[in-house]
Structure 1
Amino acid sequence: MGKIYGYARVSTKTQRLDRQVRNIEEFCKEKKITHIYKEKYTGTKTNRPQFQKLLAVIKPTDTIIFDSVSRMSRNAEEGYELYMELMNRGIDLIFIKEPHINTTYYKQMQSKKVEIASTGKKSTDTLIQAILDAITDFQNEETKEKIRIAFEQAEKEVQDLHVRISEGIKTTQRINTTLPEEQRKQIGQKKGSTFVTKKSIEMKENIRKMSKDFEGNMKDTEILKILPISRNTYYKYKKELLNE
């Protein structure tokens, strides 16, 4: 078995890498990690400085561990090409959150091919090779589909979160209209509040996941329509996140 490397990436300089690094270390447990490469890079391409350093030292039988497939590449097409390139170099890829697309699975599929000896007849051997090529193409497409689904699933989880929050706001607003003012639930943080509450922690996490300035792809105006907080509170939380 070769060396084990980790790779952690965030999309802005203000984001923290702690969670990804911790997940990689916990996944390895007793196994020795040679090095965890850490990157704060906003690009969507694969020409990231730290990642390029990793690619320069990686060798056949080595392993790269990612917290998620989205850390390797944000684009499914580029992710697939990189996946195949590294696997064909004899490098194992492990995705903690999407184990079903680890290279181990793909290699198991390849090993299940039926080994057919050459018959010595050109026409028959051509047919056999065509069948094996078709099997390989099918496996490649299956792997590509699994990677695409992994990216789409991550996006769907964010969208589902948006829907749940929006529905929660509407429900609270509807209930509030039937209650006396003193019994109405607070939607959003009260102006001037400086206390750390369960709700403030939850809202900050939502902002981190949604905002394009962190891990998401939404604008401030779009998030404000969804989250049950005021404009002032939103920007206060965002500023605190940036300072972190």
Structure 2
Amino acid sequence: MFLNKIYGYCRISTKSQSIERQIQNILKEYPGAKIYQEVFTGTTIERKEWTKLKKVIKPGDTIVFDSVSRMSRNADEGISEYMELLEKDINLIFLKEGYIDTEVYQEQLKANDNIQTDDTDLNETIMKGIREYLKRLATKQIRIAFEQSEKEVQDLRERTKEGLRVAQRNGSQVGRLKGDTFETKKAKEAKEKILKYSKHFGGYMQDTELLKEILNISRNSYYKYKKELQEAYARGELKIVKTKKEW
């Protein structure tokens, strides 16, 4: 017996953006989801990870998105993708726009299954009409969801720009000085544990063990911190003390 699978799809538009928030939002609700992620810009011809995901999904499987805007670049493309996957019996879940989840569409369809007459042809005509109505309604709701999502992004950009303009008018330093770095408390604590326990820095634990048993961070963050530590060591900024396994 094959179990239906849950996938998560995350997308960012520029390499300067962070995809981590999308991943964490999906894994928080669906810890077992297999994540597909990619950077997709207007200059990119094909969304390779999205294409891979569409090739492996089977009827009954589920794809989770942080937002409908992550499924595609615009409403027309999003509606096309939505309807194509719906026809293939793929469940679509949007964490920020749950009202357009395919489950909502299917529930509305089932609610009308009890509309029956003695005329089989009439029943078929009625159900065809209901399906068409719900399809149009879903299309309208998806377009509204895209427009709202795009407006939120634009509003955020405008607020950010206005904040920068205000700071500049007030003579404040905008951004960090060249060569200046900022490290969060969580990142600092994670690096300290990597230095203490990782075999690569004199500890006794493999990467997978360390991630599973000690750290509460994503794989991407782990390897990012590890790379930064290795680079700091290569520059002579980090001294590694060999330690014995703690009992």
TM-score (norm 1): 0.61
Range with greater deviation from structure 2 (129-138 or 70-79): 129-138
Alpha-carbon offset, residue 158 of structure 1:
3.5
Cα shift readout 1:1-42 (whole Å, capped 9, x = no counterpart): 51111111111233332111111111214xx22x21111121
Greater RCO (CA < 8 Å, at least 6 residues apart): 1
Alpha-carbon offset, residue 131 of structure 1:
3.1
Cα shift readout 1:131-166 (whole Å, capped 9, x = no counterpart): 332222211111111111111112222444466678
Q: 1:126 to 1:187 in 2, by over 3 A?
A: farther
CA contact (8 A) 1:169 1:187 kept: no
- Structure 2 letter corresponding to 1:8: C
Inter-partner Cα distance in structure 1 for 2:63 and 2:74: 19
Secondary structure of 1:5's counterpart equals strand
Secondary structure of 2:63's counterpart equals strand
Aligned residue pairs, count:
179
Inter-partner Cα distance in structure 2 for 1:136 and 1:119: 20
Inter-partner Cα distance in structure 1 for 2:19 and 2:56: 22
CA contact (8 A) 2:164 2:174 kept: no
- Structure 2 letter corresponding to 1:7: Y
Give me the identity figure in percent. 44
RMSD, aligned CA: 3.3
1:63-82 equivalences under 5 Å are 63-82=62-81
Aligned twin of 2:14: 12
Quick check: 1:130 aligned with 2:125?
yes
Aligned twin of 2:138: 143
Inter-partner Cα distance in structure 2 for 1:192 and 1:118: 71
Aligned twin of 1:24: 26
Inter-partner Cα distance in structure 2 for 1:85 and 1:56: 13
1:1-244 equivalences under 5 Å are 2-29=4-31, 32-33=32-33, 35-43=34-42, 47-117=46-116, 119=118, 125-161=120-156, 186=170, 188-189=172-173
Q: 1:50 to 1:119 in 2, by over 3 A?
A: same
Alpha-carbon offset, residue 111 of structure 1:
0.6
TM-score (norm 2): 0.61
Q: 1:118 to 1:6 in 2, by over 3 A?
A: same
Cα shift readout 1:79-133 (whole Å, capped 9, x = no counterpart): 111111111211111111111111111111111114355635xxxx554443332
Inter-partner Cα distance in structure 2 for 1:40 and 1:117: 49
